[in-house]
Amino acid sequence: MNDDLISAQKAEILLIEQKAEQFVVSEKMFPKGGTVIVGVSGGADSTALLHFLKNHAEKWNLSLIAAHVNHGLRGESADHDEAFVKECCQKWAIPCRVLHEDVAALSKKRKEGLEACGRYVRYTFFKALAKENGAVAIATAHTASDQAETVLMHLCRGAGAKGLSGISPVHEGIVRPLLCLTRKEIEVYCNGYHLSYCEDETNWDLDFSRNKIRRQVIPVLKTLNPKVETAVSGAAFRLREDDNCLFEMAKSALEQAAHGLGWETSSLMKQPRPVRLRALFLAAKKNGAGELSADHLLNLDLLLLQGGKITLTLGLHAEVQQGILFFGDPKKQRFAIPLSFPETILPDGRRLLVRKISQKELKNDSKFHNLFFFNLLNYATISKNTVVRTQLEGDRFRPAGRGISKPLRRMMNEAHIPPYLRENSILLEREGEILWAEGLGASESARPGVDRQNAMIIIKENGL
């Protein structure tokens, strides 16, 4: 091999490394260094990843742990891959952890495909190792070629911007340092460093959807654009930026529309549809929704306009009442916990703030005026036995100044408190007596005196 060719190969490898280095730094994958769990199958991509991180471990202050999963699917071939990974790690002085799992049996038990089950097993293992070793990140060897395949698969399923954004470079502690490189660049890197690697024969099995994209679709697209993988990855990156921006706008829209435990439909309807749909997605997820399809979101959007009630996933329903969107669950959480000063964190995420207020605040601080009628009570009636709880069947309440006791549900109905607030209202109880009911105020025995010397105020925050 002549010197010019050798120099050209070295220059190409140097450019590939610089490209990956700049990508890692720009995405802030290892800002402070630390332990990194590296997923290593033994293939070209993961072997290159482990080698690349080994070469940069000192520069980036990294301590590497390789993680390999033997899926029990390929017999001797899988055992050979495991032995290869162990040998590499021994040669490079990198600790190696191996998990053996019968993925075929587990996939039947979990009632999912081999690909999905294998992914579940790997990431569960990686996350367990990360927790055990205090790792700052889990590194996987996804490439720009994987990105293109993923985006095309999602496109075939009719995905929106989130699905077409593909694989994120950094997400929930998982980083992809090689996502900027194509599979061809990975092979150049491996050849340049004389790195051997394993070939997974299942990569040629066209029963797997990804292999169909890789072996049959991508080659055709390359006749239109030889750099199609890089082009699709670039499009995914731009879509991710747009999608992230729209989600930030959606978060602000939810905050503006917040009303008790729900959201004002009139406020949400003012938002552009792309922002509104994302706001509805966030609201549903916040209330425990499972996987949400495009149809779910479109039905939620229609609900804002028409009112009524629809059922989503995992038993969650959405309803619009009196211009307020709220979500309910048939298995709604009930609780009774001790009252704490000055703040009680409720099991559903809400916060109850309780504190004494001065005469000066009562007279001069306008921000309390709208809260006084329903949220003042006598501090002296609170004891260590006071609990915060949700409603129970048979609850009765004797409101201040009324001279009567009635079923709590009937009183809330008479007070025209919307159903979604009734179902989620909270109470203060002491030794069987309700001292305060949200939306109704203090009881006869707990109301402040005429001079309000011992007044305390209750402020509820939704924790949304």
Q: What is the mean pLDDT of the chain?
A: 86
CATH code, residues 260-328: 3.30.465
Mean pLDDT within 401-417: 86
Tell the burial category of 98 from Cβ atoms under 10 Å away from its Cβ (0-12, 13-18, 19+): middle
**Coil/strand/helix, residue 23:** helix
> Phi and psi of 409, rounded to 5°?
-60, -40
Query: Would you give the DSSP letter of residue 449?
Result: P
CA distance 126 to 36: 10
Amino acid at 47: T
Using an 8 Å Cβ cutoff, are 236 and 188 in contact?
A: no
DSSP 448: P
CB 350 within 8 A of CB 460: yes
CA distance 33 to 60: 6
Q: Are 177 and 38 in contact (CB under 8 A)?
A: no
> Residue 266: what are its φ and ψ, rounded to 5°?
-65, -35
Cα–Cα distance, 23 to 177 (Å, whole number): 7
Question: What integer pLDDT is reported at residue 322 of this predicted model?
Answer: 78
Q: Does domain 336-461 have CATH number 3.50.40.10?
A: yes
Per-residue pLDDT, 371 = 45
The answer, yes or no, to whether residue 369 has pLDDT greater than 50, is no
Model pLDDT for residues 263-320, shown as the tens digit of each residue: 999 999 999 999 999 999 999 988 878 888 889 999 999 999 998 889 887 778 898 8
Supply the pLDDT for residue 460.
58
The answer to whether residue 41 scores a pLDDT higher than 60 is yes
Cα–Cα distance, 196 to 83 (Å, whole number): 13
| pLDDT tier at 227, thresholds 50, 70, 90 | very high
Average pLDDT over residues 139-144: 96
* Model pLDDT, residue 200: 75
Give the DSSP letter string of 196-237. Answer: -----GGGG-TTSHHHHIIIIIHHHHHHH-TTHHHHHHHHHH
Q: Identify the pLDDT of residue 374.
A: 59
Count Cβ atoms within 10 A of the Cβ of residue 92 and give its class: 0-12 exposed, 13-18 middle, 19 or more buried.
middle
Compute and round to an integer the Cα radius of gyration of the chain. 30
The set of residues, in sequence order, having a beta carbon less than 8 Å from that of 11 and lying 6+ positions away, is: none
Position 3 scores a pLDDT of 59
Residue 367 phi/psi, 5° resolution?
A: -70, -20
Q: CB neighbours (10 Å) of residue 441?
A: 21
Tokens standing for residue 89? 């790690």
CA 87 to the chain's CA centroid: 37
Which band of pLDDT confidence, cut at 50, 70 and 90, is reported for residue 111? confident
The stretch 318-325 carries a mean pLDDT of: 86
Q: CA–CA separation, 205 vs 211, rounded Å?
A: 7
Q: Residue 185: what pLDDT?
A: 96
pLDDT (0 to 100) of residue 232 = 95
Domain ranges of the chain: 3-227, 260-328, 336-461
Dist CA 139 CA 136 (whole Å): 10
d(CA 146, CA 144): 5
Return the percentage of the chain with pLDDT > 90, whole number: 52
Q: pLDDT at residue 206 above 50? A: yes
pLDDT of residue 329 exceeding 70, the answer is no
pLDDT, position 51: 97
Q: Is residue 388 pLDDT above 50, yes or no?
A: yes
The pLDDT value recorded for residue 301 is 95
Distance of CA 57 to the CA centre of its chain: 30
On the question of pLDDT at 241 being above 70, the answer is yes
Higher pLDDT, 259 or 53: 53
Task: Count the Cβ atoms, other than its own, within 10 Å of residue 353.
Answer: 13
Top CATH class of 3-227 equals alpha beta
The pLDDT of residue 347 is: 77
- Residue holding tokens 């001069």? 364
Q: What share of the chain in percent tops pLDDT 70?
A: 89
pLDDT value for 424: 74
User: What are residue 267's phi and psi, to 5 degrees?
Assistant: -70, -45
pTM of the model: 0.71
Kindly list the distances between the CA atom of residue 410 and the CA atoms of 190, 322, 375, in Å, as whole numbers in the listed order.
75, 19, 20
Report pLDDT for 394: 87
Overall average pLDDT of the 238-248 stretch: 95
Range scoring the smallest mean pLDDT among 53-57, 127-131, 245-249, 422-426: 422-426
- Using CA atoms, how far residue 79 sits from 91, 282, 310, in Å, is 18, 44, 51
> What's the rounded Cα separation, in Å, for the pair 141 and 45?
6
- How many beta carbons lie within 10 A of that of residue 1, not counting itself? 6
CA atoms within 13 A on the CB side of 180: 16
